[in-house]
Amino acid sequence: MYPVITISREFGSGGHSIGEAVAKQLNIPFYDGEIVNRVAIESGYAKELIETQGEYTSSTAMWFDISAAGTMYFQSPQDEIFIAQKKVILDCASKGPCVIVGRCADYILRKEGVRCMNVMIHADMEHRKKRVLERYENIENVSIEKRLAKKDKQRKTYYKYYTDKTWGDFREYDVILDSGLLGEEMCVKTICDLATNYPE
């Protein structure tokens, strides 16, 4: 039986597309946008808020949460969204092999003892810029590097806050693939091959 496959990814590296293709090839469920929909039901927050608060944060926002927590009982919307996401992720994994993208799923599942294969997808800046410019309209090339760096920083801050681990640290993953060098098809094939022969 395949493990649950989690996909962590740098913004613009193609992690969503790779995860979706892996799920299709292995004929197992794929969870990314669906998690947003389910968390919206669980938490009562709008999907737009969950999309922006479910993986990203700023150092300023976290400083406010920590400061407020020290003076009174306080659970921010982001904390509530994380709790709801954790519940949904564990429920998805409990139903069998699947692919889950982002949202600290690698940490959440490993901590709960779920058999999973944690994958990190990254790429060099030029490949990421090219992909983002092709996929998203109305993004100026002049600001794309700052946008990519900001997204990665926000994911890193979010991951550190909720896991006390370092996002992107090779020790936290079973497989790390450079989609810029290998291409998406090779990344998909590699993940599928490894999942098929993953240790019980």
> What are the Cα distances from residue 91, in Å, to 28, 94, 151?
15, 5, 27
pLDDT digits (tens, 9 = 90+) for 107-149: 999 999 999 999 999 999 999 988 888 876 666 555 788 888 8
Burial class (CB in 10 A: 0-12, 13-18, 19+), 103: buried
pLDDT digits (tens, 9 = 90+) for 39-66: 888 778 777 777 766 566 644 444 444 4
Would you say the C-alpha torsion 32, 33, 34, 39 has a positive or negative sign?
positive
pLDDT at 151: 85
Indicate the pTM of the whole model: 0.85
Mean predicted confidence (pLDDT) in 169-195: 96
Residue 109 CB partners (closer than 8 Å, separation 6+): 4, 6, 89, 90, 93, 100, 116
Lowest mean pLDDT among 80-89, 134-143, 173-182: 134-143
d(Cα 171, Cα 158) in Å, to the nearest integer? 18
pLDDT at 37: 84
d(Cα 125, Cα 110) in Å, to the nearest integer? 30
For residues 81 and 54, the answer to whether their CB atoms sit within 8 Å is: yes
d(Cα 162, Cα 55) in Å, to the nearest integer? 10
pLDDT band at 178 (very low <50, low <70, confident <90, very high): very high
